[in-house]
DNA sequence: AGCACGCCGACT
DNA sequence: GTCGGCGTGCTC
């Protein structure tokens, strides 16, 4: 990411609270003071209240706002309120169950608010565990002092029996008991003993050794790209560096894309790092946790009891008193970008945070994002490479199957089928990757041309056909819209002409599973996609069966690409990759390359030379050619050249204004007004610091799927070759957009650094 | 965003 | 006669 502007930070007052004696008196209680509070409301600005003496910046407060009560965070203690004194209400209750948030956390939130053009409160409050931002958690008899106090009390209770057993060597200290390391960890994980057996460390190969040494020599802020293919041992490098940082007494933040898909990683990190950080020294944070668990992990990290914080993007906003290292694993992964609310990139903010704290940050990937790779090439980031596979297994052989002159059998090329058959004979597993769930993408009437359109969206309804649970039983057939979730029964005949012979067009994973069953009657076939894993735990179950060798052929969507390595997987077939190659999105090739590398990497880790066949009608495409050579650098060179000549990121900076309304025209009208405003500003208005000469605004265009759930959408792309110019413009623009007349029946949002356009 | 207040249609 | 539609306006 480009030079960071820190302008937004100025909205934080760093001055200590003001001497109350010489100001417009807040009145009321003796020594009362004014506080300026951030609230989770979609309104720009902060809100002033009257608080008891001693209120501090960074402290939380329950305030009355309109007709409801909310939890806010004190950002300033101004000398006078910004509105008439009569309008200022009293704080309902200052909360002191936590120390005030530290300056660096407030600064991080302020930066994110400014960078992504959102109100400060909308950044800060959603970043906290749920109970800490609900006034209700502090009310009523049951609350007993709020969620933090309750949690601590529970931990103290749980620790009691242990304490009596060891009363000899530990004097009771009730103050300390609430937060002390041993008590909380005992409650969290009574099973895990602190006497872990010594872990035998894997031997590092030469390049791992070099990487660890280079990383150990770093002090202060430095972004490092750790580039290594699947199986090259990036995790071991993270671990060694993390261990070192822990020994220095500092905390480590490790971000992963999705924690549920990588339970092994969590196990490895726990085992290795708890040996240093102590039992309970590793906290795990992700959106799947219940409120209480999340609060507990967060508190442990905030209090410095947890020395390692392992988690998804939401962990980025956790205050860490002794942060010494940040690791972003799979840094290219799109799930680091939040797609609603504050649309932040946890990877980009992690880099900002590392700079702010003056600590190193490791970005790990086999297929880095073009942004990161570009920075590594220009020397802005340090590039460390792990070229070999650590386990000395041969990389999979990738072969392109030209589908232009081949007669496909149910969409499958003969060599692919032969490969599956061979692996079956050898008792090895096969994986067929098809990134399209359902039975067929559309149902079609040959007689009149009717297709299964969604009544609420401008999209096709997908045919789903679940095979019967018991042989001969009823299968579940239905049409489903993947955009809005609408479902209906499959019509027996064409709704338009009555033709009874409706045809499924194209192939999804369900149909593929069915075909493979017909082609390989003896084989054990399973499918992993969003449909087959809807039930909680069923994904784990299916992965376990695959690992146990109870599955011969696995059909899967991108869900199978992440995390899991299959020891006995000898063959990977890829279908329909071309669909992504020619997507409208300029980042599609980058995602396709990453995905194919990742899928290919699932196989052959244990030493079996694995094969990967990719069916394509365009084998000459540079992307596929680079893939066959396992040549990420070659692909990136080609992709970056294209980006540069087209003036696209990372050579330009973008923002996207999206509008939604019942009628497309309303959305378009809003965008037109938003655009027209920029023509009036033209740099002549000196109050707007925006340098319009460096800003390009494109025409508003409808989204490719215009209507979803009866809402029609359009968007307006803004581009600049200068990050500061774009930021300056967005700041001014975000200020006027809420006031535009056309906002009436329009919902809109502004996204900075959009991933998809 | 919530949550009110405020005027115009089909119902106990 | 009211319950309720969502239009508009405000929140320190």
pLDDT in tens, A486-498: 899 999 999 999 8
Count of residues for chain A?
757
Within 10 Å of residue A729's Cβ, how many Cβ atoms?
24
- The answer to the question of whether A488 is labelled as a binding residue is no
Looking across all nucleic acid strands, the nucleotide with the smallest C1' to CA distance from residue A67 is B3
CA→C1' distance for A455 and B10 (Å): 28
Spatial contact of A419 and A611, defined as CB atoms under 8 Å apart: yes
Lowest mean pLDDT across A202-216, A364-378, A411-425, A596-610: A596-610
DSSP E strands: which ranges in A98-234? Answer: 222-228
List phi, psi (to 5°) of A235.
-60, -40
Looking across all nucleic acid strands, the nucleotide with the smallest C1' to CA distance from residue A42 is B1
Within 10 Å of residue A250's Cβ, how many Cβ atoms?
18
pLDDT band at A476 (very low <50, low <70, confident <90, very high): confident
Beta-sheet pairing, A93-95 with A60-65: antiparallel
Q: Indicate if CB(A165) is under 7 A from strand B.
A: no
pLDDT at A179 exceeding the cut of 60 = no
- The answer to the question of whether A686 is labelled as a binding residue is no
CA→C1' distance for A43 and C12 (Å): 12
User: What contacts 24+ positions apart, CB below 8 Å, involve A637-640?
Assistant: A639/A370, A639/A589, A639/A590, A639/A593, A640/A370, A640/A373, A640/A374, A640/A377
Q: Which positions 300-319 on chain A have a beta carbon less than 7 angstroms from any atom of strand B? A: none
| Cα A581 to Cα A450: distance, rounded to the nearest angstrom | 28
Within 10 Å of residue A509's Cβ, how many Cβ atoms?
26
List phi, psi (to 5°) of A660.
-130, 135
HSE-CB at A98 with a 13 A cutoff on CA atoms is 27
Greater model confidence, A647 or A534: A647
Chain C bases under 7 Å from protein CB?
Answer: 8, 10-12
- Given this model, what pLDDT does residue A145 score? 85
- The answer to the question of whether A448 is labelled as a binding residue is yes
Spatial contact of A557 and A434, defined as CB atoms under 8 Å apart: yes
- The answer to the question of whether A381 is labelled as a binding residue is no
CA→C1' distance for A739 and B5 (Å): 22
CA→C1' distance for A709 and B6 (Å): 30
| Cα A714 to Cα A538: distance, rounded to the nearest angstrom | 38
| Cα A468 to Cα A477: distance, rounded to the nearest angstrom | 10
Looking across all nucleic acid strands, the nucleotide with the smallest C1' to CA distance from residue A40 is B1
Looking across all nucleic acid strands, the nucleotide with the smallest C1' to CA distance from residue A47 is C12
CA→C1' distance for A734 and B8 (Å): 36
How many helices, marked H, and strands, marked E, lie in chain A?
20, 29
pLDDT tens digits, one per residue of A44-88: 999 999 999 999 999 999 999 998 999 999 999 999 999 999 999
Beta-sheet pairing, A68-76 with A487-488: unpaired
| Cα A458 to Cα A121: distance, rounded to the nearest angstrom | 36
pLDDT at A24 exceeding the cut of 70 = no
Q: Indicate if CB(A745) is under 7 A from strand B.
A: no
**What is the dotted CATH code of the domain comprising A392-438+507-649?**
3.40.50.300
Q: Give the fold, CATH level 3, of A180-386.
A: Rossmann fold (3.40.50)
Residue nearest to nucleotide B3 (CA to C1'): A67
Greater model confidence, A565 or A588: A588
Q: In this structure, what is the dihedral angle of CA atoms A624, A630, A633, A634, given to the nearest 10 degrees?
A: -40
Looking across all nucleic acid strands, the nucleotide with the smallest C1' to CA distance from residue A66 is C11
Both tokens assigned to A684: 């002549």
Average pLDDT over residues A552-559: 94
- The answer to the question of whether A657 is labelled as a binding residue is no
CA→C1' distance for A592 and C9 (Å): 48
Q: Indicate if CB(A739) is under 7 A from strand B.
A: no
Both tokens assigned to A354: 């590392």
CA→C1' distance for A289 and C4 (Å): 40
CB neighbour list of residue A583: distance below 8 Å, 6 or more residues apart: none
List phi, psi (to 5°) of A95.
-100, 130
Q: Indicate if CB(A42) is under 7 A from strand B.
A: yes
Token pair 């924690």: residue:
A259
Average pLDDT over residues A22-41: 78
| Cα A714 to Cα A668: distance, rounded to the nearest angstrom | 6
Most confident of A182-196, A256-270, A480-494: A480-494
- Given this model, what pLDDT does residue A740 score? 84
pLDDT at A603 exceeding the cut of 90 = no
pLDDT band at A663 (very low <50, low <70, confident <90, very high): confident
CA→C1' distance for A491 and B2 (Å): 42
**Residue A440 DSSP one-character state:** B
CA→C1' distance for A670 and B11 (Å): 39
CA-angle at A623, arms to A235 and A434, nearest 5° = 75
pLDDT band at A604 (very low <50, low <70, confident <90, very high): low
Looking across all nucleic acid strands, the nucleotide with the smallest C1' to CA distance from residue A41 is B1
Q: Tell me the percentage of chain A whose pLDDT exceeds 70.
A: 87
Sort A283 into a burial class: Cβ within 10 Å, 0-12 / 13-18 / 19+: buried
| Cα A691 to Cα A682: distance, rounded to the nearest angstrom | 8
CB crowding A139-152: b at 16 or more within 10 Å, else e: eeeeeeebbbebbb
Q: How far is CA A559 from CA A334, A564, A681, in A?
A: 14, 10, 47
Greater model confidence, A200 or A503: A503
List phi, psi (to 5°) of A175.
-60, -50
Task: Kindly report the average pLDDT of chain A as a whole number.
Answer: 87
Residue nearest to nucleotide C8 (CA to C1'): A744
CA→C1' distance for A487 and C4 (Å): 30
Average pLDDT over residues A127-139: 93
pLDDT at A255 exceeding the cut of 90 = yes
- Given this model, what pLDDT does residue A549 score? 92
- Given this model, what pLDDT does residue A607 score? 56
Looking across all nucleic acid strands, the nucleotide with the smallest C1' to CA distance from residue A63 is C12
pLDDT at A360 exceeding the cut of 80 = yes
pLDDT at A701 exceeding the cut of 90 = yes
- Given this model, what pLDDT does residue A4 score? 36
pLDDT at A10 exceeding the cut of 50 = no
Looking across all nucleic acid strands, the nucleotide with the smallest C1' to CA distance from residue A46 is C12
From-to residues of CATH 3.30.70.360 in chain A: 653-752
CA→C1' distance for A185 and C9 (Å): 51
| Cα A128 to Cα A30: distance, rounded to the nearest angstrom | 32
pLDDT band at A7 (very low <50, low <70, confident <90, very high): very low
- Given this model, what pLDDT does residue A181 score? 39
Residue nearest to nucleotide C7 (CA to C1'): A744
Looking across all nucleic acid strands, the nucleotide with the smallest C1' to CA distance from residue A84 is C12
CB neighbour list of residue A527: distance below 8 Å, 6 or more residues apart: A509, A510, A513, A554, A555, A556
Q: Is the bond leading into A650 cis (omega within 30 degrees of zero)?
A: yes
Q: Indicate if CB(A738) is under 7 A from strand B.
A: no
**What is the dotted CATH code of the domain comprising A653-752?**
3.30.70.360
CB neighbour list of residue A160: distance below 8 Å, 6 or more residues apart: none
Average pLDDT over residues A577-594: 93
- Given this model, what pLDDT does residue A538 score? 86
pLDDT at A31 exceeding the cut of 60 = yes
pLDDT at A605 exceeding the cut of 70 = no
pLDDT tens digits, one per residue of A621-634: 999 999 999 999 99
Alpha-carbon radius of gyration of chain A: 28
CA→C1' distance for A735 and C8 (Å): 21
Sort A249 into a burial class: Cβ within 10 Å, 0-12 / 13-18 / 19+: exposed
Both tokens assigned to A77: 């203690």
Of A351, A315, A325, A309, which is closest to residue A244 (Cα–Cα)? A325
Sign for the CA dihedral angle at A41, A297, A142, A99 comes to negative
| Cα A429 to Cα A99: distance, rounded to the nearest angstrom | 55
Q: Give the fold, CATH level 3, of A1-127.
A: GIY-YIG endonuclease (3.40.1440)
Chain B bases under 7 Å from protein CB?
Answer: 1-4
Beta-sheet pairing, A251-255 with A308-311: parallel
pLDDT at A432 exceeding the cut of 60 = yes
Q: Indicate if CB(A67) is under 7 A from strand B.
A: yes
- Whole-structure pTM value: 0.90
Query: First vs last Cα of chain A: how many Å apart?
Result: 18
CA→C1' distance for A287 and C10 (Å): 34
From-to residues of CATH 3.40.50.300 in chain A: 180-386, 392-438+507-649
pLDDT band at A198 (very low <50, low <70, confident <90, very high): low
- The answer to the question of whether A224 is labelled as a binding residue is no
Spatial contact of A456 and A707, defined as CB atoms under 8 Å apart: yes
Greater model confidence, A539 or A637: A637
Both tokens assigned to A204: 């590092």
Q: Which residues touch strand C (CB under 7 A)?
A: A 41, 43, 45-49, 63-66, 81-83, 87-89, 744
CA→C1' distance for A422 and C11 (Å): 70
Looking across all nucleic acid strands, the nucleotide with the smallest C1' to CA distance from residue A748 is B1
pLDDT at A12 exceeding the cut of 50 = no
Residue nearest to nucleotide C11 (CA to C1'): A66
- The answer to the question of whether A252 is labelled as a binding residue is no
pLDDT at A106 exceeding the cut of 90 = yes
- The answer to the question of whether A342 is labelled as a binding residue is no
Looking across all nucleic acid strands, the nucleotide with the smallest C1' to CA distance from residue A36 is C12
Q: Indicate if CB(A747) is under 7 A from strand B.
A: yes
CA→C1' distance for A670 and B6 (Å): 27
pLDDT at A276 exceeding the cut of 80 = yes
Looking across all nucleic acid strands, the nucleotide with the smallest C1' to CA distance from residue A83 is C12
| Residues facing A346 on adjacent strands | none
Average pLDDT over residues A333-337: 96
Average pLDDT over residues A654-677: 92
pLDDT tens digits, one per residue of A290-330: 999 999 999 999 999 999 999 999 999 999 999 999 999 99
Q: Is the bond leading into A384 cis (omega within 30 degrees of zero)?
A: no
pLDDT at A688 exceeding the cut of 60 = no
CB neighbour list of residue A744: distance below 8 Å, 6 or more residues apart: none
CA→C1' distance for A118 and C10 (Å): 20
Lowest mean pLDDT across A179-188, A218-227, A721-730, A737-746: A179-188
- Given this model, what pLDDT does residue A167 score? 42
- Given this model, what pLDDT does residue A194 score? 46
């Amino acid at each position: 990411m480009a030079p960071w502007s820190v302008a937004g930070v100025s909205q934080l007052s760093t001055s200590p609270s003001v001497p109350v004696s010489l100001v417009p008196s807040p009145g009321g209680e003796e020594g009362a003071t004014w506080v300026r509070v951030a609230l989770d409301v979609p309104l720009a600005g902060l809100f002033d209240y009257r608080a008891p003496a001693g209120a501090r910046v960074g402290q939380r407060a329950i305030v009355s706002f309109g007709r409801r009560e909310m939890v806010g965070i004190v950002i300033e203690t101004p000398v006078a309120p910004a509105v008439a004194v009569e309008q200022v209400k009293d704080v309902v209750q200052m909360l002191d169950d936590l120390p005030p948030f530290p300056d660096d956390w407030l600064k991080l939130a302020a930066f994110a608010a400014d960078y992504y053009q959102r109100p400060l409160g909308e950044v800060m409050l959603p970043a906290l565990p749920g109970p800490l931002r609900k006034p209700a958690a502090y009310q009523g008899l049951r609350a007993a002092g709020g969620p933090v106090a309750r949690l601590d009390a529970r931990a103290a209770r749980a620790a009691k029996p242990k304490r009596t057993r060891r009363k000899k060597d530990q004097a009771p200290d009730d103050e300390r008991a609430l937060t002390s390391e041993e008590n909380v960890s005992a409650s969290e994980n009574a099973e895990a003993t602190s006497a872990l057996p010594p872990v035998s460390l894997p031997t590092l190969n030469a390049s791992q050794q070099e990487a660890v040494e280079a990383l150990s020599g770093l002090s202060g802020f430095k972004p490092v790209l750790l580039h290594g293919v699947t199986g090259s041992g990036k995790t071991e490098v993270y671990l060694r560096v993390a261990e070192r940082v822990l020994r220095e007494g500092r905390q480590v933040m490790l971000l992963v894309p999705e924690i549920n898909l990588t339970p092994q990683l969590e196990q490895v990190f726990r085992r290795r790092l708890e040996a240093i950080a102590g039992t309970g020294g590793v906290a795990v944070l992700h959106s799947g946790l219940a409120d209480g668990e999340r609060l507990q992990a967060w508190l442990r990290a905030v209090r410095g009891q947890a020395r390692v914080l392992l988690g998804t993007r939401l962990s980025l906003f956790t205050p860490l008193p002794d942060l010494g290292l940040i690791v972003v694993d799979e840094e290219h992964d799109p799930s680091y970008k939040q797609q609603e609310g504050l649309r932040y990139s946890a990877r980009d903010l992690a880099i900002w945070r590392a700079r702010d704290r003056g600590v190193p940050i490791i970005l790990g990937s086999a297929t880095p994002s073009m942004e990161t790779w570009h920075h590594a090439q220009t020397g802005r980031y340090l590039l460390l490479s792990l070229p070999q596979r650590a386990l000395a297994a041969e990389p999979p052989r990738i072969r392109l199957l030209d589908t232009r002159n081949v007669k496909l059998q149910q969409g499958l090329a003969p060599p692919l089928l032969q490969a599956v058959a061979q692996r079956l004979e050898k008792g090895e597993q096969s994986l067929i990757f098809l990134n399209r769930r359902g039975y067929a993408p559309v149902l079609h009437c040959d007689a009149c041309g009717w297709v299964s359109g969604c009544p609420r969206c401008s999209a096709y309804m997908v045919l789903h056909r679940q095979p019967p649970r018991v042989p001969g039983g009823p299968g579940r057939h239905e049409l489903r819209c993947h955009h809005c979730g609408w479902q209906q029964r499959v019509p027996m005949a064409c709704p338009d002409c009555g033709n009874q012979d409706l045809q499924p067009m194209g192939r999804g994973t369900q149909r593929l599973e069915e075909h493979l069953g017909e082609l390989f009657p003896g084989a054990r076939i399973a499918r992993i996609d969003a449909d087959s894993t809807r039930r909680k735990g069923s994904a784990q179950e299916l992965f376990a069966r695959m690992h146990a060798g109870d599955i011969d052929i696995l059909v899967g969507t991108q869900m199978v690409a992440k995390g899991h390595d299959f020891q006995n997987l000898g063959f990977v077939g890829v279908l329909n990759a071309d669909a992504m190659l020619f997507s409208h999105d300029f980042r599609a090739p980058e995602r396709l390359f990453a995905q194919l590398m990742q899928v290919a990497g699932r196989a052959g880790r244990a030493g079996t030379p694995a094969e990967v066949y990719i069916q394509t009608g365009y084998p000459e495409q540079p992307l596929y050619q680079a893939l066959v050579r396992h040549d990420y650098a070659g692909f990136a060179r080609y992709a970056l050249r294209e980006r540069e000549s087209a003036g696209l990121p990372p050579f330009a900076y973008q923002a996207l204004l999206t509008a939604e309304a019942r009628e497309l025209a309303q959305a378009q009208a809003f965008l037109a007004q938003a655009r027209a405003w920029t023509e009036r500003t033209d740099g002549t208005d000196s109050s707007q610091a925006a340098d319009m000469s460096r800003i390009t605004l494109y025409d508003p265009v409808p989204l490719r799927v215009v209507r979803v759930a009866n809402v029609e959408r359009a968007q307006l792309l803004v581009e600049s070759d200068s990050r500061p110019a774009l930021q300056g413009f967005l700041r001014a623009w975000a200020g006027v957009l809420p006031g535009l007349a056309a906002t009436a029946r329009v919902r809109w949002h502004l996204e900075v650094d959009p991933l998809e356009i």
